[in-house]
Amino acid sequence: MRRALGSSAAMYVVLSLGALAFLFPFYYMVIGSLQTTVDPSPSGAFPAPGNLTLDNYGAINERIDLLQGLANSGIFTGGVILGTVVFGVLAGYALAVLHWRGRSATFSLVLLVQVIPFQLLMIPLYVMIARDYGLADTYAGMILPFFINSTAVIIFRQYFLQLPKELFDAARIDGAGELRLLWNVALPLVRPALLTVVLLTFIGPWNEFLWPFLITKEASMQPLAVSLANFLSNIAASTANPFGATLAGAVVLAAPAVALFLVFQRYFTSNDLGSGVKG
C-alpha cells in the first residue's frame, strides 16, 4: 500500500512539474504584458502591484483598431471554418461510406496534397485570385484558398470508417437517403471529429498573416494577425515599453485560441460508436 501511494505521489509531482514548465511561458507572457517597467530578473515573474498597468494594451489600441481587427479575423476564420467543415464532411463521407469507381485514387490525391507546402502555391493563387477573379481587397479573396482543407477530409474519413456499417444498412432499409444518413446518423456520432477540425482549422487562419497581407493592403480589412505583425515589427519599438507592448500583442492574438480550446476541450472524447448496434 505504501509503495502504491508513493508511486502515485511521485507521478503527480512529476506531472505537476511538467504542467508548471509548460504553462510558465504563457503566465510570463501575460505578466510581462502588464508591467509598467520591464523587470528581466526572476522576480519579474511576480511583480509588485504598483508595476502593473494596462497601458501596453492601450498603446496597441492607439495604433491599430483592435475591435476591427478582431472582427476581420472573425470573418476570415469563420468563413474558412465553414467551408472546411462542410466540404470536409461531404468529401470524408463520400470517401468512407459511398462506393464508387476511383475512390482509392481520389484519396491518394488527397494525401498527396498534404506534402505540397502552401508557400509553393501562394504566387499562382495570388495571380488567380487577384488578377483573374478580381477578388483583391475582399474577404472572399482571403477565404477561398483555405476553403477546402485536405487534413479535415482525412480526419472525417477516418472517423466515418469507424462507424458500424449496420447503422447505415438499417437506415437505408427504412428508406433514408444519403444526405439524411449523413445528417441524422453519421454526424451525431462524429462530434469529436467536428470539434477537432474546428479547433485545428481555427488556429491556421487566425494566425495567418502573409496571405491576407498579400490580398489586401487596406488596414480596415486586415485581420488581427496582420495588424499585430505590422505593429510588432514597425511600431512596438517606438512605444514607452516595447517589451511589454510586444507581449501584449502576443496575448491579444493568443487569447481567443486559448479560450476556444478551454471551452471545447472537455468534448474531445470518443463517442460509443457501436451503441446503436445490437449484440
pLDDT, residue 260, reads: 81
Query: Which of 13-22, 34-43, 62-71, 74-83 is the most confident on average?
Result: 74-83
* pLDDT beyond 80 at 15: yes
Name the percent of the chain lying above pLDDT 90: 12
CA distance 71 to 75: 6
| Lookup result for grid cell 503566465 | 27
pLDDT category of residue 275 using cuts at 50, 70 and 90:
very low
pLDDT, residue 97, reads: 87
> pLDDT, tens digit, for every residue of 184-230?
888 888 888 888 888 888 888 888 888 888 888 888 888 988 888 88
- β-bridge partners, 35: 52
pLDDT, residue 277, reads: 47
pLDDT, residue 273, reads: 47
Domains of the chain, residue spans: 2-53, 57-267
* pLDDT beyond 80 at 109: yes
CA distance 233 to 197: 31
C-alpha cell, 102: 476511383
More confident: 89 or 265:
89
Count, in order, helices (H) and strands (E) of the chain.
14, 0
* Angle at which helices 66-96 and 191-207 cross, to 10°: 140
* pLDDT beyond 80 at 170: yes
Query: Which of 17-21, 22-26, 88-92, 192-196 is the most confident on average?
Result: 88-92
CA distance 7 to 11: 6
| pLDDT (mean) for 146-169 | 88
Q: Which CATH class is domain 57-267?
A: mainly alpha
* Angle at which helices 150-162 and 66-96 cross, to 10°: 50
C-alpha cell, 90: 461531404
| pLDDT (mean) for 150-163 | 90
Query: Which of 82-96, 101-115, 234-248, 261-275 is the most confident on average?
Result: 82-96
